[in-house]
Structure 1
């Protein structure tokens, strides 16, 4: 028994005092109306309607039950109506998890402009490089950077591809020399971003072959910004997403190495639970992210 349908049938029959008219209003056959009433009576364990071939009337139990059923159905209708504005326009609170460095280098300055477009929308943005559980932790959406996005029940929308560059400060290269092949990295002071999917092994490709180097780092850290700071100080070299050091490279604070080798790429995705009934607040934020990362 579909209990909600049965309750709707009972209410219509009771108020219209007609099985046939209730069926016409609800788009149900007379047999379906009778079946729903019979199943509802079996469920509550009481006769709700006296019916003969010529007339029908509510029993005492039916009268009491109708009062509660009508109130419950009205409350459900009000609940549906309360969601109307949220379903049709961006409003409410949007909870988003995003990597710290990506957000600070690519999104932070643009978020106020996004929020100014939608005055009914509140953004609760959590900057965290760890991998969050969207459902368990109550996030609407997460931005994730992956070398390879694993199979998942989540929907993933591609935002950008970030190539990596091996780099260090000029002072480091002056002291320690510049690596000419990936294997040379074994004798260098490497700085390791712990949360990367390739933290323990850096891969480089050239002329159809790949060379992997196991990294033994003196300094491991969970922040790409901390990696960049250490690079600027001449502490060592690291494989880091190009956008994080683009300005440093252009202004000469850092220099690249192994430019004739291709390094790993990280793809950024917007990840969310489902395409079905996508809330306007999520839809407009997805559009914002695509716009913000355009050309990446």
Structure 2
């Protein structure tokens, strides 16, 4: 078992560093030793984990799947060791957290502010930013992120849950334009796409009954790069929007917005807590991650949920 864990840690380090040479330097091993460890691991698993050329290497599909599982396993081991080592210590010091603006304001802030009330020796420095923050460069202890993690190398990631989207419109719009019952009817309606990346509208994603995912490209005369602005435009009757449930739940409850396309499940994204793999996570980070994992599912479903 020890040999297997050793092989896994070497494999993850190679995948994170992007090369056998860099991994050998970081691990304090020879390049030959690293190569032999990976070769033994591939032989034991019966699959090739890396595509290798003279100039570059990349994970195979099997390697990518194995990497994601191994990363979670190593993170769980590290968390278990840290919990044993610091279970008798109350969190202290400044916890520096980065979170997306709206998700941070509606979901993350209430959880972490409540946490600091229970731990008077702990301070919170919560920064809202929609761009990808470099944790090391900006001295961030913990980041909350939505969707894929393009810079996962060197990071530990823990899932906080996932959220769905609500396709919705104002009653005034539906009274005038009618209520679509199928995706094929959307082109005849005014849609309100969220245009986050250089004005390009984000596609709406739906899960089919057989588990497949389809993307539906929407257009419209109004394109906005702020989700709150999209929600307000929908409330004003400007069109149909596809928005996170944690953002529009109160508007749906009040009747300002009404769900449409109820037979189609609109997909959102996963939410993660991430922190640097290089540094030992202090107790305040571990406590914050545990609190987020416990409370975030209810917040993602309904931001005003009580805990």
Q: TM-score range by the shorter chain?
A: 0.5 to 0.7
* Shift, 1:150, TM fit: 4.5
Q: 1:187 to 1:130 in 2, by over 3 A?
A: farther
| Secondary structure of residue in 2 paired with 1:119 | coil
Larger radius of gyration: 1
Question: Which of 254, 257, 260 is the matching residue for 2:257?
Answer: 254
Q: 1:210 to 1:143 in 2, by over 3 A?
A: closer
Alpha-carbon contact 2:164-2:267 (below 8 Å) kept: yes
Alignment match, 2:202:
200
Q: TM-score by structure 2 length?
A: 0.61
* Shift, 1:157, TM fit: 0.8
In the TM superposition, 1:69-88 aligns within 5 A as: 88=89
1:152 and 2:152 aligned: yes
Alignment match, 2:39:
none
CA RMSD of aligned residues (A): 2.6
Alpha-carbon contact 2:168-2:258 (below 8 Å) kept: yes
* Shift, 1:232, TM fit: 1.2
Alpha-carbon contact 2:208-2:265 (below 8 Å) kept: yes
Return 5+ residue gaps in structure 2 as ranges: 1-85, 302-307
Alignment match, 2:12:
none
| Distance across 2 between alignment mates of 1:131 and 1:233 | 32
Task: Provide, for residues 11-64 of structure 1, a one-character-per-residue CA deviation record: whole Å limited to 9, x for no partner.
Answer: xxxxxxxxxxxxxxxxxxxxxxxxxxxxxxxxxxxxxxxxxxxxxxxxxxxxxx
Alpha-carbon contact 1:95-1:139 (below 8 Å) kept: yes
| Distance across 2 between alignment mates of 1:158 and 1:226 | 28
Alpha-carbon contact 2:95-2:125 (below 8 Å) kept: yes
| Secondary structure of residue in 1 paired with 2:137 | helix
1:283 and 2:286 aligned: yes
| Secondary structure of residue in 1 paired with 2:120 | coil
| Secondary structure of residue in 2 paired with 1:108 | helix
Q: 1:133 to 1:151 in 2, by over 3 A?
A: closer
In the TM superposition, 1:120-199 aligns within 5 A as: 120-146=121-147, 148-150=148-150, 152-153=152-153, 154-195=155-196, 199=201
Alpha-carbon contact 2:196-2:202 (below 8 Å) kept: no
| Distance across 2 between alignment mates of 1:183 and 1:228 | 23
* Shift, 1:269, TM fit: 0.7
Alpha-carbon contact 2:135-2:142 (below 8 Å) kept: yes
Alignment match, 1:222:
225
| Distance across 2 between alignment mates of 1:221 and 1:140 | 32
| Secondary structure of residue in 2 paired with 1:283 | helix
| Distance across 2 between alignment mates of 1:267 and 1:124 | 24
Alignment match, 1:240:
243
Alpha-carbon contact 1:155-1:275 (below 8 Å) kept: no
| Distance across 2 between alignment mates of 1:94 and 1:244 | 26
Q: TM-score by structure 1 length?
A: 0.63
Alpha-carbon contact 1:186-1:213 (below 8 Å) kept: no
